[in-house]
Structure 1
Amino acid sequence: MSRLTELIDRIKFKDPKLGKELMEEFKVISARRQFGLNFERHKPENVELPNRKIKKGDKVRILPERKSLKKGDQRLWLVKEIFKTGKKKVASIKLLDDLEAKTLEKDIDNLIVVAEFQDYIYPGLVSTGRLERNKDKPYHTVINGENFHALKALNFTHKGKIDVIYIDPPYNTGSRDWKYNNNYVEADDNYRHSKWLAFMERRLEQAKDLLNPDKSVLIVTIDEKEYLRLGMLLEQLFPGQRIQMVSSMINPKGSARGKEFYRVDEYIYFVYFGKQTVNDVLIPGLCVSNSKDNDENEAEGESKKIKKVRWASLLRSGSEAQREDSHLKFYPVLVDRGTKTIIDAGDPVPLGIDKSEVDIPKGLDAVWPIRSDGSDGRWQLNQNSFRKLLSNGHLKISSINKKSGKITFNYLMEGQRKQLKEGGLIISGKDKYGGIIVEYSDKDSVVGRPRTLWMTKAHSATEHGSSLIKKFIPGRTFPYPKSLYAVEDTLKFFVRDNPNAIILDFFAGSGTTAHAVMRLNRLDDGARQCISITNNEVSAEEQIILKNKGLRPGDKEWEDLGICEYITKPRIKAALTGKTPEGKKISGEYKFYDEFPFSKGFSENVEFFTLTYHTPIAIHHNLAYQQIAPLLWMRAGSQGMRIDKLPEKGWEILGNYALLVDLDKNADFILSLKNRPKIKMVFIVTNDDRRFQAIVRQLPDGVEAIRLYESYLKNFQFTSE
Structure 2
Amino acid sequence: MAAINDLLRQIPDTSLRDRLEQEFARLSKNKKFGLVFEEHIPECTPLYDVPVKRGSTVALKTGHINDLYTVLKIEEDIALCRNKTTGDTRNIPVSELVSVAQFGEPIFPMLQPIAAVENAPDSNLWHTIIEADNYHALQLLEYLYPKKVDCIYIDPPYNTGARDWKYNNDYVDSTDNWRHSKWLSMMQKRLKIAKRILADDGVLITTIDDNEYAHLWILLHEIFPNLTHTCITIQHNPGGTQGKKFSVTHEYAIFSYSSESTIFRKQHTGGDVYNLRRWGSTSGRYEGATCFYPVILDSNYNIIGFGDLLDEELHPTAQVEYNADGTIYVWPIDKNGIEKKWRYGRDTVESVKDRMFIEKRGNRIEIILRRESEPPKTVWTDPLYNAEAHGTDMLKTIIGGGFSYPKSLYAVHDALLFAVSGKKNALIVDFFAGSGTTLHAVNLLNVEDNGNRRCILVTNNEVSDAESKALREQGYQPGDPEWEKHGICRSVTWPRIKYSILGKRDDGTILSGEYYTNQTVSKEVERSFYQLGFIDNPTELTTNAKKQLVSLLRGKDGKSQLPQSLVKADSKFIVSDKHSATILFDVNAVNEWLEALEDQDHITDFYIVVKSAATFKEIKAQVSNLLGPMNVTLQVKRPMSDGFPANVEYFKLGFLDKNSVSLGQQFREILPLLWLKSGAIGRRPEINSDEEPDMLILPQNGFAVLVDEAKYAEFAKKISEVNNIKVVYFVTNSEEAFREMTDGIKIKNTYQLYRDYIDNFVLGSRRDS
Structure 1 partner of 2:50: 52
**Aligned counterpart in structure 1 of residue 436 of structure 2, from 489, 511, 516:** 511
Q: Could you list the per-position Cα deviations for residues 224-276 of structure 1 after superposition, in whole angstroms to 9, with x for gaps in the alignment?
A: 1111111111111111311110110001111112x121111101111112411
CA contact (8 A) 2:159 2:212 kept: yes
Residue in structure 2 matching 1:453, options 379, 383, 386:
379
Task: Indicate how the Cα distance of structure 1 residues 240 and 713 shifts in structure 2: closer, same or farther if over 3 A, else same.
Answer: closer
The CA deviation at 1:643 is: 4.5
Structure 1: runs of 5+ lacking an equivalent: 65-70, 286-303, 311-332, 334-341, 343-376, 390-394, 396-414, 432-436
2:724 maps to 1:678: yes
What whole-Å deviation, never above 9, does each CA across 1:465-494 have from its counterpart, x for those lacking one?
Answer: 1111111112x2111000111111111012
Is 2:78 the counterpart of 1:95?
Answer: no
Q: Is the 8 A contact 2:65 2:168 kept in 1?
A: no
Distance 2:376 2:65 in 1: 53
Are 2:262 and 1:277 equivalent residues in the alignment?
yes
In the TM superposition, 1:551-570 aligns within 5 A as: 551-570=476-495
Out of 173, 196, 200, the residue aligned to residue 209 of structure 1 is 196
Counterparts of 1:259-298 in structure 2 under 5 Å? 259-282=244-267
Distance 1:667-1:274 versus aligned 2 partners, 3 A rule = farther
1:425 counterpart residue number: 354
Deviation at 1:72, TM superposition (A): 6.3
Matched residues in 2 for 1:697 and 1:563: separation?
Answer: 47
Aligned residues of 1:684 and 1:705 also touching (Cα < 8 A): yes
Offset, 1:516: 0.4
Per the alignment, in what secondary structure is the counterpart of residue 659 of structure 1? Answer: strand
Quote the sequence identity (%).
35
Kindly state the Cα deviation for residue 527 of structure 1 after the two structures are TM-superposed.
0.6
> Is the partner of 1:592 in helix, strand or coil?
strand
Report the counterpart of residue 238 of structure 2 in structure 1.
252
**Partner letter of residue 27 of structure 1?**
S
Partner of 2:148: 161
TM-aligned CA distance change 1:17 to 1:263, over 3 Å: closer
CA gap 1:544/1:7 in 2 versus in 1, 3 angstroms:
closer
**TM-score, normalized by length of structure 1?**
0.75
1:284 positional shift:
5.6
Residue number among 580, 583, 588 corresponding to 2:513 in the alignment: 588
- Read off the aligned partner of 2:424 and give its amino acid letter: P
Contact 1:142-1:606 within 8 A present in 2 as well:
yes
In 1, the alpha carbon distance for the partners of 2:324 and 2:726 equals: 38
| Partner SS for 1:105 | strand
Flag the 1:705–1:163 CA change in 2: closer, same or farther, 3 A. same
Q: CA deviation at 1:17?
A: 12
Task: Verify: 1:3 aligned to 2:45, yes or no.
Answer: no
Question: Is the partner of 2:452 in helix, strand or coil?
Answer: coil
For residues 424 and 457 of structure 2, the distance between their equivalents in structure 1, rounded to whole angstroms, comes to: 18
Counterpart of 1:62, as a letter, is: L
- In 1, Cα distance between the equivalents of 2:214 and 2:19? 38
SS at match of 2:104: coil
For residues 537-574 of structure 1, the C-alpha deviation after alignment (integer angstroms, 9 at most, x for no partner) is: 00001111111111111111111110000000010001
Distance in 2 (CA, whole Å) between partners of 1:6 and 1:664 is: 55
1:152 aligns with 139
> How far apart, in 2, do the equivalents of 1:614 and 1:55 lie?
13
Could you tell me which residue of structure 1 aligns to residue 579 of structure 2?
Answer: none
Give the corresponding residue for 1:360: none
Q: CA RMSD in A?
A: 3.6
1:650 aligns with 2:579: no
Provide the rounded CA distance (Å) in 1 between the counterparts of 2:22 and 2:510: 69
CA offsets, 1:380-405, max 9 Å, x none? 6589959xx9xxxxx9xxxxxxxxxx
Q: Give the whole-Å Cα distance in 1 for the aligned partners of 2:239 and 2:713.
A: 69
Cα pair distance change 1:689/1:516, threshold 3 Å: same
Shift in Å at residue 163 of structure 1? 0.6
Matched, 1:200 2:187: yes
Aligned partners of 1:43 and 1:427: how far apart in 2? 59
Task: In structure 2, list runs of 5 or more residues that go unmatched.
Answer: 278-298, 301-317, 331-344, 361-365, 519-635
Quote the Cα distance in structure 2 between the aligned partners of 1:118 and 1:516: 34
Contact 1:466–1:480 at 8 Å: present in 2 too?
A: yes
Paired with 2:20 and 2:116, the residues of 1 have a C-alpha distance of 57
Q: TM-score, normalised to structure 2's length?
A: 0.70
Call closer, same or farther: CA 1:439–1:618 in 2, change over 3 Å. Answer: farther
**1:307–1:243 distance in 2 versus 1, CA, 3 Å:** farther
Say which is worse superposed, 648-657 or 683-692, in terms of deviation: 648-657
Aligned to 1:38: 36
Amino acid at match of 2:98: I
Q: Which amino acid aligns with 1:61?
A: A
Match of 1:124 among 102, 110, 122: 110
Matching of residue 608 in structure 1 with residue 647 in structure 2: no
Whether contact under 8 Å (2:152, 2:430) holds in the other structure is yes
SS at match of 2:251: strand
Residue in structure 2 matched with residue 401 of structure 1 by the alignment: none
The code of the aligned residue for 2:637 comes to E
The separation in 2 between residues aligned to 1:427 and 1:146, in whole angstroms, is: 47
Matched-pair contact (CA < 8 Å) for 1:280–1:449: yes
Q: Name the aligned partner's letter for residue 123 of structure 1.
A: P
- By how many angstroms is 1:715 displaced? 4.3
Q: How does 1:325-340 map to 2 (within 5 A)?
A: none
Q: Work out the CA distance in 1 between the residues paired with 2:177 and 2:515.
A: 45
Larger Rg: 2
Query: Distance between the aligned counterparts of 1:92 and 1:54, measured in 2?
Result: 12
Pairing 1:78–2:70 present: yes
Kept in 2: contact 1:653–1:673 (CA 8 A): no
- Are residues 383 and 188 of structure 1, via their aligned partners in 2, closer, same or farther at CA, if it must alter by over 3 Å? farther
Cα distance in structure 2, aligned partners of 1:249 and 1:429: 35
Change (3 A) 1:699 1:91: same
Secondary structure of the 1:694 match is helix
Residue in 1 that maps onto 2:672: 630
Q: Secondary structure at the match of 2:434?
A: coil
- Counterpart of 1:223 in structure 2 is 209
Indicate how the Cα distance of structure 1 residues 8 and 591 shifts in structure 2: closer, same or farther if over 3 A, else same: closer
After the TM superposition, which residues 61-76 of structure 1 pair with which residues of structure 2 at under 5 Å, given as runs? 61-64=59-62, 75-76=67-68
Distance apart, 1:698 and its partner CA: 2.2
Q: 2:359, 2:175 → 1: CA distance?
A: 50
CA contact (8 A) 2:399 2:496 kept: yes
**How has the CA–CA distance of structure 1 residues 583 and 438 changed in structure 2, closer, same or farther, with 3 Å as cutoff?**
farther
Count of residues in Structure 1 that have an aligned counterpart in Structure 2? 587
2:173 aligned partner: 186
SS at match of 1:163: strand
Query: Aligned pair in 2 of structure 1 residues 630, 686: CA closer, same or farther (>3 Å)?
Result: same
Distance in 2, matches of 1:193 and 1:381, equals 69
Shift of 1:25: 7.6
Aligned equivalents of 2:211 and 2:269: distance in 1?
Answer: 29
Per-residue deviation, residues 14-62 of structure 1 (Å, max 9, x unmatched): 978995896378436xx2535x311112122111122322222222222
Q: How far apart are 1:429 and its partner, in Å?
A: 14
Q: Secondary structure at the match of 1:553?
A: coil
**Counterpart among 421, 424, 438 of residue 499 in structure 1:** 424
Query: What does residue 641 of structure 2 align with?
Result: 599
Which letter does structure 1 place at the counterpart of 2:203?
Answer: V
Aligned residue number for residue 542 of structure 2:
none
String of CA shifts for 1:296-338, please: whole Å, max 9, x gaps: xxxxxxxx9445578xxxxxxxxxxxxxxxxxxxxxx9xxxxx
Q: Measure how far apart 1:157 and its partner are.
A: 0.6
Structure 2 counterparts to residues 99-118 of structure 1, below 5 A: 99=87, 101-106=88-93, 108-118=94-104
Q: Verify the 8 A CA contact 1:280 1:447 in the aligned structure 2.
A: yes
Structure 1 Cα separation of the partners of residues 354 and 65 of structure 2: 64
Deviation per residue, 1:674-718 (Å, 9 max, x gap):
2222211111122222222222222245x3111223696454445
2:78 and 2:91 in contact (8 A); partners too: no
Query: For residues 658 and 381 of structure 1, do their structure 2 counterparts lie closer, same or farther at Cα, with a shift above 3 Å needed?
Result: farther
Structure 1 segment 427-442 matched on structure 2, within 5 A? none
CA distance in 2, matches of 1:429, 1:235: 46
Cα distance, 1:523 vs structure 2: 0.9
